[in-house]
Structure 1
Amino acid sequence: MGYPKDLLSSRSIIKPGQYALIAPEGLVNNVIPGFENCRISILGSPKLGASFVDYVVTMHEGGKNSEGYCGEEDVQSFVYVISGKVKAKAGDEEFILEESGYLYCPPGVKMYLENMESGDSRLFLYKQKHNPLEGKKPWVVSGHANDIEYMDYDDMTNVHLKDLLPLDLAFDMNFHILSFDPAASHPFVETHYQGHGAYLLSGEGMYNLDNEWIPVKKGDYIFMAPYVHQAAYAVGREPLTYVYSKDCNRDATL
């Protein structure tokens, strides 16, 4: 990046155990074993207060993970293609994922990734320990979000939702895409048990995090801990859209 062109400053706000806004211009590279010719930044993690780990990955030409990612008997993984084109494998199953493509690997199944572009492909990558339910077992899921129809969110025609994984008790988490038309908002400020990790795919907005209204835009990452107030307004000329994880289908533990 070279020498700074102005005073050093950052839009990022980090409040471990509560919330974080991580702007892309401050990200550094983390070397992750198994990834070749890739630039990876760890976003949400247990050090921040999350129960999961989120990454943003730039796979350069020839970038890949030929050794496989995750695959432990109690860890599940998910990848979403922000831009570009990758070959992805779940064990022996192979998928071609272009922009909006995704792949979920259940516990015990390794994920393999390889860039198919002559330039860069960008990915949002996730892992979390699985909370099993007796008699239920999740399975490999792949698709493209662009092939899924939006649903109205909470009976509002200007806020739209997509579920990327099946609504089945075998899954203890889901990934969603939430999109706000310009000037749209959540119906109320949410306070709930689940935590989120969200990557902003488009637009600009104001996000309420722990009752602080914070400007956000495309390329930002937001971590929201359980019970932290959260809500959004979309501003600008295009929809505010983000992909995010959510725990589901399990009771609270004592």
Structure 2
Amino acid sequence: MSYPKDLLTSSTVKELLSSRSIIEPGKYALITPEGLVNNIIPGFENCIISILASPKLGASFVDYIVTMQDGGKNMEGFGGQANIETFVYVIDGNIKAAAGEQEFILEESGYLYCPPGVKMYLENLRNGQSKLFLYKKKYRPLEGRKPWVYSNHADHIDYEIYDGLHNVHIKDLLPADLDFDMNFHILSFDPAASHPFIETHVQEHGAYLLSGQGMYNLDNQWVPVQKDDYIFMGPYVQQAAYAVGEENLTYVYSKDCNRDEDL
């Protein structure tokens, strides 16, 4: 077998093509940053966007990683349909986020939730890049309940002990209220800390790793993970993690909650 000369002598390819990404549609996925491509999405200007999870993968939601360049924005609005809720978390940068007429200045760890019927507007305020974790999902209504616009900074929320473990901590980013059919959390493992057991549950997760390295059990397969990886976990997929190295393994993730299952 022969190969094109320009491929063999390329100065940009240093080794055989390889990837840590693992895709098991409907079950789980590990998506690493080096394999992401740009998706053109109407309304976003001067933004590099990759769709991470979607119904095509088996998720009931859509997750995005958005890198806003100088002048990056979405002034047409994101979401806003009568049955679509949205959420944005600032991984790094400084943005102006609006929920309809309400405006919020969000720096690193800042976030905004928009309920169904409320459009989200985004604008980069930094002279450089701002990096966002973006989410949308169909809202599951509950009689007599209605979510509301909510914004905060995760740095303003104290960590709580997770499941009785002194070396694993969690933050809840949205109110623990039946008006919301989902929540976002930040989970942080001290070096060598782990889940207390391998979880198996109906809830889905979409998780973006903010720091550290570790091993993650996905469907009883242990795989290495690190900062800037993305993990999708489908219903009933076995899952657990432990941190390795000298830095906390920390990630922000979504979880559907507060609703019964339909028949």
- How would you bin the TM-score normalised by the shorter chain? over 0.9
Detail structure 1 runs of 4+ shifted over 6 Å in the superposition: none
The DSSP-based 3-state class of the residue aligned with 1:25 is helix
TM-score, L = length of structure 2 = 0.95
Give TM-score scaled by structure 1 length: 0.99
Mapped to 1, the partners of 2:27 and 2:217 lie a distance apart of 12
Q: Is 1:181 aligned to residue 190 of structure 2? A: yes
Structure 2 match to 1:71 = 80
The residue number in structure 2 matching 1:60 is: 69
Residue correspondence of structure 1 range 1-254 to structure 2 within 5 A: 3-254=12-263
Letter paired with 1:85? N
Deviations along 1:57-108, one digit per CA (max 9) or x if unpaired, are: 0000100001010100000000000000000000000000000000000000
Deviations 1:160-216 (A, max 9, x none): 000000000000000000000000000000000001000000000000000000000
Q: Report the CA distance between 1:6 and its aligned residue.
A: 1.7
- Report how far residue 4 of structure 1 moved: 2.0
d(CA) in 2 for partners of 1:70, 1:247: 18
Shift of 1:3: 3.3
RMSD: 0.7
Q: Separation in 2 of the partners of 1:142 and 1:195?
A: 23
Instruction: Name the larger-Rg structure.
Output: 2
Cα distance in 1 for partners of 2:216, 2:100 equals: 38
Letter in 1 for 2:80: G
Unaligned runs of 5+ residues in structure 1 are: none
CA distance in 1: counterparts of 2:168 and 2:242, whole angstroms: 10
Once residues 119 and 178 of structure 2 are traced to their aligned partners in structure 1, the CA distance between those partners, rounded to angstroms, is: 22
CA shift, 1:7, in A, is 1.1
The 2-side partners of 1:104 and 1:157 are apart by 30
Instruction: State the SS of the aligned residue for 1:5.
Output: coil
**1:31 CA drift (Å):** 0.3
Structure-1 residue corresponding to 2:4: none
- Aligned-pair identity (%): 75
Which ranges in structure 2 are unaligned for 5 or more consecutive residues? 1-10
